Chains A and B, each alone.
Chain A
C-alpha cells in the first residue's frame, strides 16, 4: 500500500520534471535565437583587422573576436580559460584540413579573415 503511494508520488514528480524540462528547452531555444541575432549584429560591426572565430570545443561552442595579428597560441589560451578546459591537456586548432601550427604564427598568416569556423581538440587524440 505504502509502496503504491510512493510510486504515485514519484510518477507525479516525473510529470512535473518533464513539464519543467519542456519549459527550459523552450527558453533555451529563445536564448539561442537572441544570441544568433546579437552575433549577426557583431558580424556587421567587425572592423577590417578583426576576425570572428566560431570554435567548436569539447565543451561546446566558443565565439569571439580577435585581431588578425593574434597568435594561435593566444587564441588557444583564451578558449581553454573561457571554456574551463583541462590545462593539463595540449590543444590544437584546426581549420578545415589545416592544423594551425606552429602556434606562434598569427591568425592572419594562415589566411584567416573576417570570420572562420575552427575546431579545438586535444593534441594526439587521433591514433
Chain B
C-alpha cells in the first residue's frame, strides 16, 4: 500500500516531468520518495539536486545540492554562490526546504521557523508543490541573485 508521501510525490512529479522533458532538464526517479534533478543556470552550467521527500507533505522535502551523478551532497563545488534564496551556508533558504531549518540541519539559517507550519509560512507564498519548488530554484539560478560562481 503506497504511503501518502509516495502518492503525493507521484502525482506532483507528473507536472515536473512534463516541464523537464520540454526544457531538457535531466530528471531521474531514484525511488518513490527520491529524485535527482538538473537545472541549467545563467552561467551556462548545470546544478544538480537530490530531493528527499520522506514525510512529504507533512514536512517539506530536503533539496540537497549534489553532483551530476547524485552520488554525493557534501561538495561546496556543487553549490551555487549568491544571496538570499541561494544562502551562503550552501542551502536553499526557503520554508519549503527542510534543510533551511536549523532544527534539521546545522547549516539551516532559520531557527525561527516551525517546520510543521511550512505551508503557512508567509515566505512559502504558494510554493507548495514539487514542480513549483523546482521552477523557483531554476528562476533563482537564472536571476541576478546568482553571482555565477560556486561556493568551492
Contacts and interface: CB of A to CB of B under 8 A. Distances in A.
Interface of A: 32, 54, 56-61, 86, 88-91, 94, 96-97, 117, 119-127
Of A59, A86, A88, A125, chain B has the most CB atoms within 10 Å of the CB of A125
24 contacts: A32-B21, A56-B135, A57-B135, A58-B15, A58-B127, A58-B129, A61-B18, A86-B126, A89-B125, A90-B126, A94-B139, A94-B143, A96-B142, A97-B143, A121-B136, A122-B126, A122-B127, A122-B136, A123-B125, A125-B125, A125-B126, A126-B94, A126-B136, A127-B95
Interface residues of B, number: 32
Of B21, B95, B124, B136, chain A has the most CB atoms within 10 Å of the CB of B136
Contact of B84 (A32, A58, A96, A126): A126
Interface of B: 14-15, 18-19, 21-23, 42, 84-85, 93-96, 122-127, 129, 131-132, 135-136, 138-140, 142-145
Contacts of A56: 19, 22-23, 135, 138
Given A58-B132, A125-B127, 11 more contacts: A56-B135, A56-B138, A60-B19, A60-B131, A86-B126, A96-B42, A120-B135, A121-B135, A125-B136, A126-B143, A127-B84
Contacts of B127: 58, 121-122, 125
Contacts of A126: 84-85, 94, 136, 139-140, 143, 145
